[in-house]
Amino acid sequence: MTVSLDSPQILAGQQHRLRVRRLVQRMAAFVGKMARNPLTAVGGGIITLLVVVAVFAPWIAPYHPLIQDLDHALNAPSAAHWFGTDEFGRDIFSRLVWGSRITLWIVLLVSVTVGPLGLLLGVTAGYFGGKVDAVLMRITDIFISFPSLVLALAFVAALGPGLEHVVIAITLTAWPPIARLARAETLSLRQADFISVVRLQGASPVRILCRHIVPLCLPSVIIRITMNMAGIILTAAGLGFLGLGAQPPEPEWGAMISSGRTYMMECWWVVTVPGLAILINSLAFNFLGDGLRDILDPRSE
pLDDT in tens, 76-118: 898 888 999 988 989 999 999 999 999 999 999 998 899 899 9
pLDDT at residue 20, as a whole number:
67
pTM (predicted TM-score): 0.83
CA-to-CA dists, residue 291 to 17, 63, 67, angstroms: 30, 37, 41
Residue 85 bridge partners (DSSP): 91
For residue 53, give the amino acid letter.
V
Up-side HSE of residue 270: CA atoms within 13 Å toward CB?
22
| Model confidence band, residue 202 (pLDDT cutoffs 50, 70, 90) | confident
Predicted local confidence at residue 278, as pLDDT: 93
Residue type, 145: S
Query: What contacts 149, CB < 8 A, 6 or more positions away?
Result: 235, 238
Cα 279 to chain centroid, rounded: 15
Whether pLDDT at 2 is above 60: no
Determine the pLDDT at residue 58.
92
Confidence of residue 15 (pLDDT cuts 50, 70, 90): low
What are 120-147's pLDDT values in tens digits? 999 999 888 888 889 999 998 888 888 8
Q: How confident is the model at residue 10 (pLDDT cuts 50, 70, 90)?
A: low
What residues contact 88, with CB distance under 8 A and at least 6 apart?
A: 68, 69, 70, 73, 249
Range with the largest mean pLDDT of 175-184, 194-203, 221-230: 175-184
Spatial distance between the Cα atoms of 220 and 123, rounded to a whole number of angstroms? 13
Report the DSSP beta bridge partners of residue 91. Answer: 85
Least confident range of 38-42, 268-272, 296-300: 296-300
Backbone angles phi, psi at 30, to 5 degrees: -65, -45
Q: What is the pLDDT of residues 25-80, one digit of tens each?
A: 666 666 666 667 777 888 888 999 999 999 999 999 999 999 888 888 888 898 88
Torsion, CA 129, CA 132, CA 138, CA 144, rounded to 10 = -80
Q: What percent of the chain has pLDDT over 90?
A: 23
Residues above pLDDT 70, as percent of the chain = 87
HSE-CB at 234 with a 13 A cutoff on CA atoms is 16
Given a cut of 60, whether residue 151 has pLDDT beyond it is yes
In the chain, the domains with their CATH numbers are: 8-300 (1.10.3720.10)
Per-chain mean pLDDT for the chain = 84
CA-to-CA separations, 226 to 152, 212, 269, in angstroms, rounded: 19, 23, 30
Per DSSP, the residues of 159-170 read: H-SSHHHHHHHH
Cα–Cα distance measured from residue 151 to residue 145, given in angstroms and rounded to the nearest whole number? 10
The stretch 152-169 carries a mean pLDDT of: 86
What whole-number distance in Å separates Cα of residue 67 and Cα of residue 285? 32
Q: At what angle do helices 269-296 and 38-55 cross, to 10 degrees?
A: 120
Residue 7 pLDDT more than 70? no
Number of H helices, E strands in the chain: 12, 0
Determine the pLDDT at residue 1.
46
